[in-house]
Structure 1
Amino acid sequence: MIFGRFPLAEAGGAILAHTLKAGDRTLKKGRALGPDDLTALAAAGIAEVVAARLEPGDLGEDEAATRIAEAFATPHVRATRAATGRVNLIAETAGVLAVDVARLDRLNRIDEAVTVATLPPFAQVAAGEMLATIKIIPFAAPATAVDRAVASAREGGPLLSLHPFMPRPVGLVLTRLPGMKESILDGTEAVTRARVSALGATLLPPRRVGHTEAEVAAGLRALASEGARILLVSGASAVVDRRDVCPAGIVAAGGRIEHFGMPVDPGNLLCLGRIGDIPAVVLPGCARSPKLNGFDWVLQRLMADLPVGREEIMAMGAGGLLKEIETRPLPRAQAAEAEPRRQRRRIGAIVLAAGRSSRMGPRNKLLIPDRSGVPMVARVVDAVLASPARPVVVVTGHASEEVRAALAGRAVRFAHNTEHAQGLSSSLRTGLDALGEEADAALVCLGDMPLVGSDLIGRLIAAYDPDEGRAIVVPTFGGRHGNPVLWDRRFFAEMRAITGDVGARHLIGAHAEAVHEVPVEDDSAIRDFDTPEQVEAAPELFGDRP
């Protein structure tokens, strides 16, 4: 192809490179210039044009794009008519797109004139959605390059294929633990039904069973006998090993476990098994949410009859970071405005320091200095300030001025509880009110637990992930739950409703499915100081100053 400036006398039949205004006529780029066009240009005082002229062995852009598109022909995909060197490939049905990436890369390396762009491999698509676009970059391409692109697109079967969703019955087993609310199971069932229905399938009446291997197995066998062609298990507690209760239930039902875990986040804790020829999937905790997660990718492929096994799952890591995907498709201007949403979840901290310390006698335990002279409440606050939690709210009540003085100069927000005599619940409510809308979660700390260090607080914050089902994070020592506890915002209303001299600990049992335990190596998370005897029993902390 010859490209450059042409005098009007030599421009007949050339392809205009840039749109021109010629009197009352607009000649758009890509137009083959005819006699009338040249006359209009001359009348407008234009003596030459920037244009392209095809040489022997060149194919015009539309012809080249059409020939390559024909080589992509495959069921359920149609090609648009070529225009300006472009042909789009359109889905005729909903399904999953498969792309031979290695062959596509080879095709795109043939010649800079020939380009093919597709959606990501294994993308879920709707009918009418564009799957790929074939674009000839200049106004023509060498015929030899087009021939090579056609051969590459045809060798070894379709380079691109659309796999329709195949309607089928899906079975769901939901396990429950004692005290677990049925509303939790109702929510999981509703989200799963919506997922399955969106892919054209039908959810059979779910089985709600106890969180035991035998009951999971019985539920799976019953659903298989009812015709389920995909089996799902949503456990009351997140699966942490391929030998855990729900995977063991698949094995007890006569199945096998093919793979545990996946390099997709959220969705890491997915477990894939099979009972005979029926896929059986233990859902990660994030599948309780309608947000995109790794289970969606597995379910889509299963519904489209695409292979899903160990190798396929372990190949999902590239592009598998889904946590912030909701911001990615935004236009640039909107994406800039959405940037604050891309930051880490906002975790605030509440330090409860309003109690009367009545069991300590005349002393206020929160003001007792350690061996370095630092008051107990200040040690607690310093540990919180050394963590990512912000803001840090200190709830005062009894001896408010003394507590404030002990924390002078520290970057905390004080919230005075005028009803502190009513007990712990009123201080918790005061702290939550002080956080307001600034936090997605709250770390609730007790002012009389000075052995809790910033390392433990950091571990609790790092473990928090409501998308993975870790919405309440609690430290444990020797099988006992300790403090502090990190609570997702969705529990704030229930925490505010508590009355009396109690905290929110009973909500841990009520929401067992949302609890994530962080084991600790010492008793710091369960050790508080309420009496003089407890203080005397910790000379390493409260002994005489060296």
Structure 2
Amino acid sequence: MKMISVYDSVGSILSHDVTQIIPGEFKGRLFKKGHIIKEEDIEKLLSIGKEHIYVWEPEEGQLHENDAAIRLANLVLGEGVAKSEEIKEGKVDFFADRDGVLKIDKEELLKLNTLGEIIVSTLHNNTPIRKGEKIGATRVIPLIIEEEKIIKAEELIKNKIIYVEEIKPKKCLLITTGNEVYSGRIKDAFLPVIKSKLAYYGSEVIRQVILPDSKERIIEEIQKGFAENVDMIICTGGMSVDPDDVTPTAIKECGGELVTYGSPILPGAMFLLAYYNDIPILGVPSCAMYSKRTVLDLVLPRVLADERLSLNDIAAYGHGGLCLDCKVCTFPHCSFGK
């Protein structure tokens, strides 16, 4: 790459994007890499402080920022992710190519970003994502980078760092318990909440059954769900530690594997998760009826993406598991669950 005076640049080809910044009004590309300088461009370049431009003359062992960014994108991107067709100012943007849950290998990402002169930036791991949403980007810091640095990155990173787990529609059995609901003294408020949250991800409640606080009846209905081959069972009501709240005990005794009863998430401390073979059973506490965001919003998309959650997965939510109940909710693009 060589530097020439703007006044001598007519007919030359830019080797990099030229950015214009007008404070408070505009920041973007004034000229694109490959642009052929014309006489009328000289004044524009001078107005942004460019008295010289650079013409890159390739040398062996060096990469232009655009070429390096493409190699980095190809290195880190896995299934369910697309990259921008246009490279702007040496940066490649990443977008979700399907609805799902964004997965980031944070350890591998840290390795890559500690190499120096290379950056990859993403949204948080486990963020629910819609197709087309921007989820990350990559670029190199210098305009020209030693190819050896990119080769080192390619040798270091063995697995894809960024991918989107696809959410699969599921049919759910909803079991609502509580003597007060069963007797008709109060109206069930869980069904519209659960239906709405499932529908957002293309899933549905195929059947709801309302039961008294009877351990035997709850076990019976859960086992009926197994026989019906439902994809998921959600139990609501009776999730606290009161003596007559028997739903957790019923779930534990239905023949499945208990993952956890309790979570470090607020709202949602009394959450329960179990599995019967591949069928997840969620015990959802009453906070889901009145709180805008709860443990259910964090766990549900991962369950719908067929991720088998462990106790460690739930315990990890202690860091970031406090919902601030903001007046204007921006979930999932907030600190909750991150």
Q: TM-score, normalised by structure 2?
A: 0.80
- Partners in 2 of 1:150 and 1:43 — Cα distance? 37
- State yes or no: 1:255 paired with 2:241: no
Over the matched positions of the two proteins, sequence identity in percent amounts to 22
- State yes or no: 1:158 paired with 2:141: no
- Partners in 2 of 1:45 and 1:214 — Cα distance? 80
CA positional deviation for 1:102: 0.8
- Partners in 1 of 2:230 and 2:49 — Cα distance? 75
- Partners in 2 of 1:238 and 1:324 — Cα distance? 22
| Partner residue in 2 for 1:284 | 285
| Partner residue in 1 for 2:109 | 104
Task: Give the partner amino acid of 1:210.
Answer: P
- Partners in 2 of 1:195 and 1:79 — Cα distance? 29
Q: Which segment drifts farther, 306-315 or 11-20?
A: 11-20
- Partners in 2 of 1:45 and 1:248 — Cα distance? 73
- Is the 1:8–1:47 Cα contact (8 Å) retained in structure 2? no
Task: Give the partner amino acid of 1:125.
Answer: I
| Partner residue in 2 for 1:188 | 190
Task: Give the partner amino acid of 2:129.
Answer: V
Task: Give the partner amino acid of 2:92.
Answer: V
- Partners in 2 of 1:165 and 1:269 — Cα distance? 25
Deviations 1:467-511 (A, max 9, x none): xxxxxxxxxxxxxxxxxxxxxxxxxxxxxxxxxxxxxxxxxxxxx
Task: Give the partner amino acid of 1:254.
Answer: G
SS of structure 1 residue aligned to 2:211:
strand
CA positional deviation for 1:216: 1.3
Matches within 5 A, 1:32-51: 34=36, 36=38, 40=42, 49-51=51-53
SS of structure 2 residue aligned to 1:107:
helix
- Is the 2:181–2:188 Cα contact (8 Å) retained in structure 1? no
Instruction: Please list every run of 5 or more consecutive structure 2 residues that lacks an aligned counterpart in the other structure.
Output: 22-28, 332-338
**1:77 pairs with 74, 81, 96, which one?**
81
- Partners in 1 of 2:297 and 2:322 — Cα distance? 13
- Partners in 2 of 1:306 and 1:48 — Cα distance? 53
- Partners in 1 of 2:114 and 2:269 — Cα distance? 35
**Which has a greater percent of helix?**
1
Task: Give the partner amino acid of 1:195.
Answer: K
SS of structure 1 residue aligned to 2:229:
coil
| Partner residue in 1 for 2:64 | 60
| Partner residue in 1 for 2:176 | 174
| Partner residue in 1 for 2:235 | 233
- State yes or no: 1:317 paired with 2:321: no
- Partners in 2 of 1:303 and 1:74 — Cα distance? 20
- State yes or no: 1:128 paired with 2:127: no
- Partners in 1 of 2:280 and 2:95 — Cα distance? 30
Deviations 1:397-447 (A, max 9, x none): xxxxxxxxxxxxxxxxxxxxxxxxxxxxxxxxxxxxxxxxxxxxxxxxxxx
| Partner residue in 2 for 1:444 | none
- Partners in 1 of 2:39 and 2:201 — Cα distance? 53
Question: Taking CA–CA contacts closer than 8 Å with sequence separation of 6 or more, which of the two structures ends up with the larger relative contact order?
Answer: 2
- Is the 1:58–1:143 Cα contact (8 Å) retained in structure 2? yes
CA positional deviation for 1:19: 4.1
Work out which of the two has the higher radius of gyration on C-alpha atoms and give 1 or 2. Answer: 1
- State yes or no: 1:148 paired with 2:152: yes
Deviations 1:200-259 (A, max 9, x none): 222121111111211211121122222212111101x44238996111101332224221
| Partner residue in 1 for 2:26 | none
Task: Give the partner amino acid of 1:106.
Answer: K
Distance 1:249 1:148, change over 3 A: same
- Is the 1:116–1:135 Cα contact (8 Å) retained in structure 2? yes
SS of structure 2 residue aligned to 1:146:
helix
- Is the 2:101–2:302 Cα contact (8 Å) retained in structure 1? yes
Distance 1:243 1:143, change over 3 A: farther
- Partners in 1 of 2:282 and 2:269 — Cα distance? 13
| Partner residue in 2 for 1:203 | 205
Task: Give the partner amino acid of 2:229.
Answer: G
- Partners in 1 of 2:208 and 2:228 — Cα distance? 11
- Is the 2:176–2:211 Cα contact (8 Å) retained in structure 1? yes
- Partners in 1 of 2:328 and 2:47 — Cα distance? 51
Matches within 5 A, 1:492-531: none
RMSD of the TM alignment (CA)?
3.6
| Partner residue in 2 for 1:269 | 270
Instruction: Please list every run of 5 or more consecutive structure 1 residues that lacks an aligned counterpart in the other structure.
Output: 21-26, 331-546
Deviations 1:137-192 (A, max 9, x none): 44333322223334444x0x321121111122211110122477748553211111
- Is the 1:52–1:139 Cα contact (8 Å) retained in structure 2? no
For this pair of structures, how many residues does the alignment match?
319
- Is the 2:6–2:45 Cα contact (8 Å) retained in structure 1? no
| Partner residue in 2 for 1:465 | none
- Partners in 2 of 1:43 and 1:277 — Cα distance? 63
| Partner residue in 2 for 1:299 | 300
Q: TM-score, normalised by structure 1?
A: 0.52
SS of structure 2 residue aligned to 1:36:
coil
Distance 1:147 1:289, change over 3 A: farther
CA positional deviation for 1:28: 2.3
CA positional deviation for 1:64: 1.6
- Is the 1:247–1:257 Cα contact (8 Å) retained in structure 2? no
